[in-house]
Amino acid sequence: MIFLDDLKYWVWLSRIECLGAKRKMKLLEKYKNPAEIWKLEKHDLLSIEGIGEKIADEILDKKYRNGLDDIINKMDKQNIKLINFFDEMYPQNLKQLYDMPISLYVKGNVSLLNEFSLGIIGCRECSAYGEKVADAIGRGLARKNIVTVSGLARGIDSISQRATIKEKGKTIAVIGSGIDIIYPPENIKLANEIIKNGGLIISEYPPNTEPKKMHFPARNRIISGLSSGIIVVEAKNKSGTMTTVDFALEQGKTVFAVPREYNK
């Protein structure tokens, strides 16, 4: 359980863009909690391996310390919770990642985080065949009470997650923005349906965080990290889907590929 005073420091640490997940974890290993990191002065930061002048200045930048109460108020109003690495609800699968997120913002059924799940990913500009397959897989897994995981993106992601919901199944959407800023915007309704039907939306980014290109590869490691296996439906050679596949293979996960439709 995070108390309100502690929450401020966790939100602050999660906002610092120049610090990757590994650096944040190293700081937590050394100082035990974000409140202690908050107190550090520039000379303290410069004494830490891997932190130079530029990063130290960024950590101390007041833009990350301002507006924290507003973010926490928004979290309260929108029922967004923060689960940190030390929380018992933090997913065990993610603890196996070398660059695990130090915290997750969650909305919905948090018990899904530690249930068996399979990721369904694929092309945004999918074919009619790909759409049919993604729908069938989403429905089939839902009937077996298997939680599905995807990225709420256009195409295969959203098709599979809608299919899961239609069969009264549970799905987890991992997004690359704050939970209060659903991207793409046409999936706001889908996000609401996921929550309404007992699913979960998660992000490592705090509220008010706009979607950025660099956020999505980072998001993909969480999709594969949460999932016990990944199902790929139509993917381009150079795409976010293949980034997720690479993460899954590095993590020792099983990757299932759906053969494309051949014209007779």
Can you give the CATH number for the domain in which 20 is found? Answer: 1.10.150
* Residue-number span of the structural domain to which 42 is assigned: 4-77
In-domain check, residue 159: yes
- Identify the residue with better confidence: 264 or 23: 23
Same domain, 252 and 160: yes
In-domain check, residue 84: no
pLDDT of amino acid 259: 74
In-domain check, residue 87: no
Residue 264 pLDDT level (bands cut at 50, 70, 90): very low
Mean pLDDT of 57-65: 95
Same domain, 251 and 182: yes
In-domain check, residue 122: yes
How far apart CA 50 and CA 133 sit, in angstroms, is: 46
Closest CA to 149 of 103, 117, 108, 193: 117
Same domain, 126 and 249: yes
In-domain check, residue 83: no
pLDDT digits (tens, 9 = 90+) for 72-112: 999 999 999 999 999 999 999 999 898 999 999 999 999 99
pLDDT digits (tens, 9 = 90+) for 93-103: 999 898 999 99
Prediction pTM value: 0.93
Which DSSP symbol is given to 197?
T
Q: CB of 103 within 8 A of CB of 82?
A: yes
Same domain, 123 and 241: yes
Q: Degrees (nearest 5) of the Cα angle 227, 106, 70?
A: 150
| Close Cβ partners of 178 (under 8 Å, ≥ 6 residues apart) | 105, 203, 205, 206, 207, 208, 209, 210
Q: What are the Cα distances from residue 148, in Å, to 98, 99, 107, 181, 262?
A: 23, 23, 16, 22, 27
pLDDT digits (tens, 9 = 90+) for 121-177: 998 888 899 999 999 999 999 999 999 999 999 999 999 999 999 999 999 999 999
Same domain, 67 and 133: no
Same domain, 229 and 149: yes
Same domain, 45 and 131: no
Same domain, 180 and 69: no
How far apart CA 193 and CA 215 sit, in angstroms, is: 24
Same domain, 144 and 202: yes
| Mean pLDDT estimate for the chain | 92
Q: What is the total count of domains within the chain? A: 2
Same domain, 148 and 238: yes
How far apart CA 69 and CA 91 sit, in angstroms, is: 27
Share of the chain above pLDDT 90, in %: 80
pLDDT of amino acid 3: 46
In-domain check, residue 57: yes
Same domain, 158 and 39: no
pLDDT of amino acid 247: 86
pLDDT of amino acid 1: 42
Q: Last residue of a domain, which of 77, 99, 119?
A: 77
In-domain check, residue 39: yes
